[in-house]
Chain A
Amino acid sequence: MTAMSHATAASTVVSAKSLGLTFQTADGPVTALTGVDLSVEKGDFVSFIGPSGCGKTTFLRVIADLERPTSGTITVNGMTPEEARRRRAYGYVFQAAALYPWRTIEKNIALPLEIMGYSKADQKARIERTLDLVNLSGFGKKYPWQLSGGMQQRASIARALAFDADLLLMDEPFGALDEIVRDHLNEQLLKLWAATRKTICFVTHSIPEAVYLSTKIVVMSPRPGRVTDVIESPLPKERPLGIRETPQFLEIAHRVREGLRAGHSYEEHA
């Protein structure tokens, strides 16, 4: 019994219990999250979907120890988020690429490696490998402004992949990109996830994107931000782009849409 619970604890990456966060603002308190119960297992690809302002970013920031919850508990790799951050447990991809403009792409990828004290030779190898992973080989010497928005976003993903964190937190990384680039990056991200065996928490506004990528879809609704549905995806791990036309896919997408609609009607009657 104890052995078993120990085993589950070891494979649970994020565990939130009745988590709440209320911001104190000049216009009074804003409840960004309330009563969130969620666990993310090792190797999961979890998507967070919901209307604007439902607390998706806030939840990711709580995992990353960029915000402190005001109620409930949360553990990351069985530790407090702060301990996990101190052990560099995760890579964070922000909604904007947030590359440092005075550094070349390879220097940007080297930034976390320099901070974490990787050797020069190791840095070089990792830069090469991650640039290749996001299809940016040959662009290492360019400055961010010389790259398109999609390329910059891929560079920021490479930066989060360069060091050994098993958890990847991604906040609408492809939000600003067009359909075609997005499809392409989704496919690449799935390949990367399969190759690296990382756990990924991924925020999106797109239902097809969430269904295509995830093993678990967390549907959220606003005012106050909470989880309304958690859908375990029955789709196989191997997912060609064509899977998005299968009945199974459409069925999950339908359930996500229903969940979102339920959240919206709450908003209208509130």
Chain B
Amino acid sequence: MGKASFLRDRLLPIGTVLVALVAVWYVFVVVLNAPFERDQAARAGGTIGFMELLPKTMAQERPVLPAPHQVFAELWDTTVNKAVTSRRSLVYHAWITLSATLLGFAMGAALGILLAIAIVHNRAMDRSLMPWVIASQTIPILAIAPMIIVVLNAVGISGLMPKALISTYLSFFPVVVGMVKGLRSPEQIQLDLMHTYNASSAQTFWKLRWPASMPYLFTSLKVAIAISLVGAIVGELPTGAVAGLGARLLAGSYYGQTVQIWAALFMAAAVAALLVIVVGFAHSLVLKRMGARA
């Protein structure tokens, strides 16, 4: 694939969609923010023409919907122009959330893998655990997140751990489901082969089930890492946390700082994208080492 086709095949379609989205966004900025400007004009005892109104809708202090350039100005200001250790730096807040995300993800992945191993190797576990695993995800996380945090606070656990546990709670699920499928993915003939060698279940696990499950593992890890981030952000909401992307969102909505909210949202999306890309990279690296077709 040459440069020209990269431009044509990847950049052009993505760029077109992006331009369209931004255009639609600006239209909504004008539509949603115009009533406020008309109100202001009416209060001053006059009316306002469209050409006069247009720039004003894009420069409000607390717009209903901030314009893209306002959000990016805020993003620029809170990342590049602030020291990363500063409370006003979005990078600082992103790091707070990211550390909880990563810890929660690691615990969720480990828990998910262990549960999947138990379920695949033990019929009783399959029958007794799987319904609970599924039931756990029917409880809205917003309902139990505050309880987890309050209960943990009461026993003296606070800070990173409660948030990470909420991430764990969300992220173990796709890993269990994916890994149960992956560990069961070997064909009968591949299992029969192990049987003819009189292989132990540990040998069958390490030499067959585990490698066979790798594509399933990474697919579920991609989902798990994204919802780990959601979990960490949700975990920051009910505590009135002072730091983290969730805290920024909450503070923004208290004070009607929509620009700050949107900047935090974009930061969260960027972090999520980065995490998924990293997992995807690990995925292709592992598959390559396992001899997958280039």
Contact = CB atoms under 8 A, between A and B. Distances in A.
Interface of A: 64-66, 85-86, 88, 90-92, 94, 96, 98, 100-104, 111-112, 114-116, 143, 145
A65 B194 CA distance: 12
| Secondary structure class of chain B's binding surface, majority of residues | helix
Contacts of B214: 102
Interface stretch (B203-211, B242-250, B270-278): B203-211
Contacts of A90: 196
A88 B197 contact: yes
Contact of B197 (A94, A102, A112, A145): A112
Interface in B173-228: 187, 189-190, 192-199, 203, 207-208, 211-212, 214
A66 B190 contact: no
B55 interface: no
A159 to B, nearest CB: 9
B197 A115 contact: yes
A100 B208 contact: yes
A86 B211 contact: no
B196 A85 contact: yes
Contacts of B131: none
Main secondary structure of the interface of A (DSSP, over half): loop
21 contacts: A65-B195, A88-B198, A90-B196, A92-B196, A94-B192, A98-B190, A100-B207, A102-B212, A102-B214, A102-B290, A102-B291, A102-B292, A103-B291, A104-B291, A111-B197, A114-B207, A115-B197, A115-B199, A116-B197, A143-B291, A145-B293
Contact of A86 (B198, B203, B290): B198
A100 B197 contact: no
A66 B291 contact: no
Contacts of A104: 291
A165 to B, nearest CB: 9
Q: Which 9 residue pairs across A and B have the least CB separation, nearest first?
A: A102-B290, A143-B291, A92-B196, A98-B189, A115-B197, A115-B199, A102-B211, A112-B197, A86-B198
Contacts of B197: 88, 111-112, 115-116
A143 B293 CA distance: 9
A64 B208 CA distance: 20
Contacts, number: 51
Contacts of B194: 115
Nearest to A98: B189
Q: Most chain-A CB neighbours within 10 Å: which of B290, B291, B292?
A: B291
A115 B195 CA distance: 11
Contacts of A92: 192-193, 196
A112 B204 CA distance: 11
B207 A66 contact: no
A101 B189 CA distance: 13
Contact of B203 (A64, A115, A145): A115
Nearest to A91: B196
A100 B207 CA distance: 9
Contacts of A115: 194, 197-199, 203, 207
Nearest to B207: A111
A140 to B, nearest CB: 13
Interface string B274-294: 000000000000000011110
B193 A85 contact: no
Given A66-B195, A98-B189, A102-B211, 14 more contacts: A85-B195, A85-B198, A88-B197, A92-B196, A98-B190, A98-B193, A100-B190, A102-B214, A103-B291, A111-B207, A115-B197, A115-B198, A115-B207, A116-B197
A143 B192 CA distance: 21
Contacts of A103: 291
Contacts of A65: 195
Nearest to A88: B198
A111 B291 CA distance: 16
Contact of B189 (A64, A96, A112, A116): A96
B55 to A, nearest CB: 60
Contact of A101 (B196, B199, B207, B291): B291
A98 B193 CA distance: 8
